[in-house]
Amino acid sequence: MEDVPARRAARREGAPVSQTPQSSRELKFRRLAGELRRSINDGTWPPGSKMPTEAAMAAEMGLSITTVRRAYEELTGQGLVVRRQGSGTFVTDRVVLRGSRQWVVGVLVPDTALYYPRVLQGMEQVLSEAQARLVLACSHYDPQAEDTAIEQLIEAGVHGLLLVPSLHDVNDPRARALQLQSLPVPVVLVERRLASAGAADFTEHVCTDHEGGAWDAVRHLHGLGHRRIGLGLRTDGPTAAPIASGYERALADFGLPTVARQEDVMDAWDADRADAAVAAFVEDGVTAVFCFGDREAALLLVAARRAGRRVPEDLSVIAYDNEFADVAEVPMTAVSPPKYRLGQMAGQSLLQRMERGDSLPVHQLHLRPRLIVRRSTTRAPDPG
């Protein structure tokens, strides 16, 4: 599960990536190089065509000749253009280049201990097959560290970015997404999108369908005869809202009553909080609980035993995340996000974007989690 530290009290307002005067100049030439690279890849500048002179490009773009020269030098170093003394700068044969170019992909994740290791493995598999090099950075859920890491990755010369940014806890997620989209290299978001934006979501992203995963969990419990299904929820983190939404939609779709919901931030979920949750569920006649995430579900298992309730005979439990659900006191049925496949598809989407630029439609891929049935769920107890 995504472990969001409690120390994160301040919420950012979507401030732009911080820049020193030198880094601002660096970004200008890299942004121009990225624009020219995309124009070459999409055929705007076909193989063999002559590029504008440095002076002409500087005048057209409103940049200094030094900025244009550095951008041309970057393209030359990547083998995209060749500079001929006395003749000018020409686009090289891209068919030959694709076999020899090595893409450099920057990856930013908030955590490398939980949830994301399998995602990173999927990315690495796809990128290594394409002979691309991965440069990894970690924000530790710190907005300032996130900005710094993105800036450093761009300065390092990456050709594209796979980002898990802070969107759920900023005052203006749309403004933040616009900032990321305006970076000088292609960007694909991973496990992040503009929540509830629908057609207004302009981001290119690859995400788990957390709402669908929650719906499937309730459907499984309903199929076992449970009608009073509670929700135990860790409320901090970007996954909580779609999980709650999927749970509520499933109750409505299956005609199930609204019952006790026990919600709290991660740091508040301890043994005492779990005892209180189980007591509330028992009082409301709940026979099954869907819980985000594994840690909170494991706490509920132990609390149920302290309350004299057997799992699954008296109380069925489904966990969301499947990080360590199989080693709980009672191996837990769990919704398992497709983390490895998620990383693979994110890497594939970015490689295609870097190769073909704006000629591709925006990709928005949502992968359905898998329900793994173990020993913590069974048929609802006989009401008699």
Helix (H, G, I), strand (E, B) or coil at 292: strand
Q: How far apart are the first and last CA of the chain?
A: 38
Nearest to 290 by CA among 382, 377, 383, 372: 377
**Token match 């579900």: residue?**
297
Strands ordered across the beta sheet of 364-367: 133-138, 104-109, 160-163, 187-190, 205-208, 364-367
Q: What's the pLDDT at 384? A: 61
Number of Cβ atoms within 10 Å of the Cβ of 279? 14
Q: What's the pLDDT at 3? A: 44
- Classify strands 160-163 and 104-109 as parallel, antiparallel or unpaired: parallel
Q: What's the pLDDT at 44? A: 76
Q: What is the pLDDT of residues 235-269, one digit of tens each?
A: 998 999 999 999 999 999 999 999 989 999 999 99
Q: What's the pLDDT at 93? A: 63
CB 233 within 8 A of CB 293: no
Running along the chain, 384 residues long, what does each successive block of 10 average in pLDDT? 41 38 59 82 76 89 89 84 85 52 90 93 94 92 94 91 91 92 95 75 95 98 98 94 97 96 96 98 98 97 97 98 95 98 97 88 95 98 79
Q: Give the predicted TM-score (pTM) of the model.
A: 0.75
308: alpha, beta or left? (left if phi > 0; alpha if psi -120 to 50): left
Domains and CATH numbers, the chain: 21-98 (1.10.10.10), 102-208+341-366 (3.40.50.2300), 210-337 (3.40.50.2300)
Nearest to 291 by CA among 245, 255, 323, 244: 244
